Amino acid sequence: MKILGIESSCDETAAAVVEDGRTVLSDIVQTQVDLHAIYGGVVPELACRAHIEAISPVVAKALQDARVTVSELDAIAVTNAPGLVGALLVGVSMAKSLALAAGKPLMAVDHIHGHIYANKLAFPDLEYPCISAVFSGGHTSLYRSDSEIDHRLLGATTDDAAGEAFDKVAKILGVGFPGGPMIEKAARGHDPARVTFPRTLLDPESFDFSFSGIKTAVLYHVRGQDARSPRALSPEEVGDICASFQEAVVDVLVEKAVRACETHGVPRLAVGGGVAANGRLREKMTARGAAHGLRTYFPPLRYCTDNAAMIAGLGYHLFRAGRVSDLWLDAVPTKVHRK
Ligand code: KG4
Ligand code: ZN
């Protein structure tokens, strides 16, 4: 089965064709990162307009690279939640139009479940149950996954997402956008023990997260108590603060994810989402996981951040489970993933 996947939930317009949920025939991602960089964050209205301009050429290129026509597709899968509502609507409208015009089944894909699927796409022999972690710009969540489409939420952030904390701290330090990769770069070769930032673990039994405290701690460290006359930081200090911040966030993510595996007696941990691209997280999670007898999975970097291959791949399993949508399908900006 050849499925076209479409993704437009945030600042990447993406389309991909995936066969049988595992063979990626094409994978196009057009990022808007330069458009938003000067604002230090994604501007929803600009994102929507850029998706409208990009969606047709991106879909056409995905079909062309896969050497298929719309009529040769078996189905169409699209991210319909969660995300920026205007951005989601662009992809959803495109998918509905194609499904209607060509008479193809349509599947609604949850973006977060797409990030979880990125590991299955990269490692088809990944078995269930496994603990799935999604660490992105919008989410920091742990799930118990019993199949490609069955995910039970164990815990989530109570305030900022991990990626959001990276982005906000990058803005405070002026190291650029998007914050995650910029902080990782600035931290390279610097001292992660120079500043002890808080590792907020909340209730020891809980798998929830909180990252607003560390963001404020960085702000006070940089500005001191007097916001009107902030200290000038040397590049050396900025690097050390980045390394110290990154280390604290990574420690919390590793601690909770490994504990989720132990509590649920599950020896597999699959980490996805943009923050899963972080080298220090990959290194520390893999080492701690191994010390606890866990096998840890991280997708290749291009499947950590937003892409449509994970959407098309998951669409295959939804189709097989009969989870097909009708043309009333709508974009849903916030979907509450219940425990
Ligand atoms: O999954 P994603 O592309 O979009 C969302 O669904 O949110 O994740 C984007 C987030 C951003 O907050 C970005 O700063 C973060 O992932 N990110 C990273 C790295 N690369 C991207 N965070 C830490 N280290 C990285 N190397
Ligand atoms: Zn994402």
The pLDDT value recorded for residue 337 is: 67
Encoded tokens for 235: 């590049």
SS (H, E, C) the chain: CEEEEEECCCCEEEEEEEECCCEEEEEEEEECHHHHHCCCCCCHHHHHHHHHHHHHHHHHHHHHHHCCCHHHCCEEEEEEECCCHHHHHHHHHHHHHHHHHHCCCEEEEEHHHHHHHHHHHHCCCCCCCEEEEEECCCCEEEEEECCCCCEEEEEEECCCCHHHHHHHHHHHHCCCCCHHHHHHHHHCCCCCCCCCCCCCCCCCCCCCECCHHHHHHHHHHHHCCCCCCCCCCCHHHHHHHHHHHHHHHHHHHHHHHHHHHHHHCCCEEEEECHHHHCHHHHHHHHHHHHHCCCEEECCCHHHHCCCCHHHHHHHHHHHHCCCCECCCCCCCCCCCCCC
Indicate the pTM of the whole model.
0.94
The closest residue, in CA terms, to atom 21 on ligand 1 is 274
270 φ, ψ (degrees, to nearest 5):
-115, 120
The pLDDT value recorded for residue 232 is: 82
**Most informative mutation of 7, 119, 271, 305 for ligand 1 (most atoms within 8 A of CB):** 305
Question: Strand 23-31's sheet: what is its strand order?
Answer: 23-31, 12-19, 2-7, 75-81, 106-110
Going by C-beta distance under 8 Å and a sequence separation of 6 or more, which residues neighbour residue 146? 128, 129, 152
The closest residue, in CA terms, to atom 16 on ligand 1 is 274
Atom of ligand 1 nearest to the CA of 161: 12
What region does 130 belong to: left with phi over 0, alpha with psi -120 to 50, or beta?
beta
Q: Which ligand is nearest to the CA of 11?
A: 1
Distance 330 CA to ligand 1 centre (A): 26
Distance 133 CA to ligand 1 centre (A): 13
Atom of ligand 1 nearest to the CA of 112: 6
CATH 1.20.1740.10 corresponds to the domain 127-298:
no
The pLDDT value recorded for residue 314 is: 98
Segments making up each domain of the chain, as ranges: 2-115+305-320, 127-298
The Cβ-side half-sphere exposure at 300, using a 13 Å CA radius, reads 7
Atom of ligand 1 nearest to the CA of 166: 14
Low-confidence ranges of the chain (pLDDT < 50): none
Work out the number of other CB atoms within 10 angstroms of the CB of residue 176. 15
Q: Do domains 2-115+305-320 and 127-298 have the same CATH topology?
A: yes
Architecture of domain 2-115+305-320: 2-Layer Sandwich (3.30)
The pLDDT value recorded for residue 266 is: 98
Closest CA to 1 of 320, 218, 335, 321: 320
The pLDDT value recorded for residue 16 is: 98
Q: Residues lining ligand 1, CB < 6 A?
A: 10, 136-138, 163-164, 166-167, 178-181, 184, 273-275, 277-278, 305-306
The pLDDT value recorded for residue 231 is: 73
252-255 long-range Cβ contacts below 8 angstroms, 24+ apart: 252/199, 252/200, 252/201, 252/209, 252/211, 253/133, 253/135, 253/140, 253/162, 253/209, 253/281, 253/285, 254/281, 254/284, 254/285, 254/288, 255/199, 255/201
